[in-house]
Structure 1
């Protein structure tokens, strides 16, 4: 075989391997809390994707896939992308549940009309932004992203290339329902305060019908809610950190 043809075959094998790795890794990076936020430039995430994919390929963790043509190659890319989407969505659940909890908190303490920056695809409430940004900052400060990358390389031993049967869709569904229930649980103290506030407001309105209780109660519920948020924020994040591994499942 001519040297040029041998080099072309070897180069094609390396490009195929890197693209297959990128297919699984892309969703993980673009959905990872902290690194995958919309506020992080796309070029930074793409650069990280290219660098880490090349590093995995050069490390010899994987052999070059044995594909005989473009149809097999595209099927392999689709299977790896599906696996990556499964892993990425599980990672993102940890931030989505904080956003849901923050939105629920904003609804019950009267701050739902105060929107912050668009951390996701659209502007969120102020408390949802606080929860999401605090959670992402806490994860990055604990080297969470390094743990994700290390575990990602180990997963190739458990879920080989194209082995889509290695993922469990029902686990993703259970994690989604669990994340929603946990978000409601995190916001439950604020819901209880709001319930108590409305009960008291009803009794005061019955006792003093001429009093405009809404003008007195609205500032109170906002102030009490913000005070409770300031006092309970650290505890909420600690409880959330303990629950993350069981929701993600593969870390």
Structure 2
């Protein structure tokens, strides 16, 4: 009887040690995860989400090879938080891309000051619309499932208990920032083109009729044109953004071409 209890205690300790190691990485990731880790989400809800992800991911992950000791616990916490933050920052940069695209589009169409404080992070109305639409679309298409798969596969690229190379992480980070801003400029390109055409047409009209106050005539035109363009292009922009996000989640540490 005592031998069976001892074996049961060993199995329980191993499961708790494995679950703790997975929870540390998952909790760091959830704190930066789009939709689940937003500032408006209460901390208790984030804790529940991290526990739910842990229950899903832990059975598919090998237990730590290091024994459960005082020094090992601190090392696991340090390395797993680092790995979770790396993955979380990589995904969070896609939200930055949407915010940047919205800011560029709003500045191009004279809509930068409308509803600027609607989010926890002050962004123009276009950025708010794109971010909310992108978050809703990502969650509706199974963001939680893809993130679970990403975390399970991340243990092959970022093994448990091993600190990643600083040179590799810095190179990867520069590539992700470059991809985020490239994606933002790509998404905002229609609005920039509209702004250029508007300003060229305004200059031609002003040259032809200097007495006409073209600014008062053209301001409503660029505002209405920007809103109409947003209505027409938002589905394509968000689908392009979602495809880029899914490609990153499928292989988060792949070098950017």
**Which category describes the TM-score, using the shorter chain as reference length?**
0.7 to 0.9
How far 1:150 moved relative to its partner?
2.6
Contact 1:27 1:88 in 2 (8 A): yes
Q: Distance in 2 between matches of 1:40 and 1:179?
A: 24
Q: Where in structure 2 are there 5+ consecutive unaligned residues?
A: 253-257
Q: Distance in 1 between matches of 2:145 and 2:104?
A: 31
CA-atom RMSD in angstroms = 2.8
How far 1:97 moved relative to its partner?
0.8
How far 1:22 moved relative to its partner?
2.0
Q: Distance in 1 between matches of 2:60 and 2:179?
A: 37
**Alignment match, 1:164:** 163
2:228 is the counterpart of 1:227 = yes
Closer, same or farther: CA 149–56 of 1 in aligned 2, 3 Å: closer
SS in 1 for 2:164: helix
**Alignment match, 2:35:** 34
**Alignment match, 1:198:** 199
Contact 2:64 2:161 in 1 (8 A): no
2:201 is the counterpart of 1:238 = no
How far 1:118 moved relative to its partner?
4.8
Q: Distance in 1 between matches of 2:207 and 2:156?
A: 68
Contact 1:116 1:125 in 2 (8 A): yes
2:20 is the counterpart of 1:52 = no
How far 1:41 moved relative to its partner?
2.6
What is the number of residues matched between the two proteins? Answer: 249
Closer, same or farther: CA 62–28 of 1 in aligned 2, 3 Å: same
- Deviation track 1:115-163 (CA, whole Å, cap 9, x = no partner) reads 25554x4222110011111111111111121121133123324432122
**Alignment match, 2:98:** 98
Q: Distance in 1 between matches of 2:47 and 2:218?
A: 50
How far 1:168 moved relative to its partner?
4.2
Deviates more, 1:132-141 or 1:25-34: 25-34
How far 1:178 moved relative to its partner?
1.3
Q: Distance in 1 between matches of 2:251 and 2:158?
A: 11
Q: Distance in 2 between matches of 1:181 and 1:155?
A: 25
Contact 1:27 1:85 in 2 (8 A): yes
How far 1:56 moved relative to its partner?
3.9
How far 1:64 moved relative to its partner?
4.5
How far 1:232 moved relative to its partner?
0.9
Q: Distance in 2 between matches of 1:77 and 1:118?
A: 36
Q: Distance in 2 between matches of 1:222 and 1:236?
A: 19
How far 1:72 moved relative to its partner?
3.0
**Alignment match, 2:129:** 130
Q: Where in structure 1 are there 5+ consecutive unaligned residues?
A: none
Deviates more, 1:30-39 or 1:163-172: 163-172
Contact 1:93 1:248 in 2 (8 A): no
Deviates more, 1:13-22 or 1:191-200: 13-22
**Alignment match, 2:255:** none
Contact 2:90 2:176 in 1 (8 A): yes
